Amino acid sequence: MDLSILRPSSGSTHPRKRVGRGPGSGHGKTSTRGHKGQKARSKIHKWFEGGQMPLVRRVPKRGFKSRFKQKDLIINIDDLNIFNREKIITPEILRASGLVKGRGKIKVLGRGRLSRPLRVKAHHFSKQAQEKIEEAKGEIEII
């Protein structure tokens, strides 16, 4: 048997329907959409559910997003290695050095390693960050 003679079985494939290409094609003018009506228009939106009440409108409204919510500014342990051990690291110093931008509260996370003992003042510390600072003989102070 030669693979070049393989053909799909008869009736399993159909020619492509070219619509909107003139009256001679048999699918001109209305292009198989019928006359007028919602389904004859250019598109049906993906959230359209056939006329029944859409899911978004069936489910009740719940809660709201606060316009005034502030995210914590995040800094990791390995970012603190640029500081000397004499300095007490405060949020003002972190902002001045460019490590954090913005006016929110600062949270220290535990990614990386601390190479020297440091005194760090911040609003929040993760458990891992707290352990790593104390392991390096440093101190933390929650503001």
Tell me whether residue 134 is in a domain: yes
Q: Over 80: is that where the pLDDT of 5 sits?
A: yes
pLDDT tens per residue, range 72-101: 899 999 888 888 877 788 888 888 888 888
For residue 95, what are the domain limits? 73-142
Q: Over 90: is that where the pLDDT of 38 sits?
A: no
Quickly state the pLDDT bin for 64 (edges 50, 70, 90): very high
Alpha-carbon distance 116 to 56, whole Å?
Answer: 55
Quickly state the pLDDT bin for 117 (edges 50, 70, 90): confident
Tell me whether residue 13 is in a domain: no
For the chain, the domain total comes to 1
Tell me whether residue 94 is in a domain: yes
Tell me whether residue 106 is in a domain: yes
Quickly state the pLDDT bin for 48 (edges 50, 70, 90): confident
What DSSP assignment string belongs to 2-68? Answer: -GGG--PPTTS-------SS-GGGSS-TTTTS-SSSGGGSS---TT--TTSPPHHHHSPP-----TT
Question: Which one has a higher pLDDT value, 25 or 87?
Answer: 25
Tell me whether residue 40 is in a domain: no
Q: For residue 115, what pLDDT is reported?
A: 83
Cβ within 8 Å of residue 79, ≥6 positions away: 99, 112
Tell me whether residue 47 is in a domain: no
Cβ within 8 Å of residue 134, ≥6 positions away: 140
Query: What is the per-residue burial (b if ≥16 Cβ within 10 Å, else e) of 5-40?
Result: eeeeeeeeeeeeeeeeeeeeeebeeeeeeeeeeeee
Tell me whether residue 20 is in a domain: no
Share of the chain above pLDDT 90, in %: 36
Quickly state the pLDDT bin for 46 (edges 50, 70, 90): confident
Which sign does the torsion angle of CA 66, 67, 70, 71 carry? positive
Residue 20 CA, chain-centre distance (Å), reads 41
Can you give the CATH number for the domain in which 120 is found? 3.100.10.10
Tell me whether residue 123 is in a domain: yes
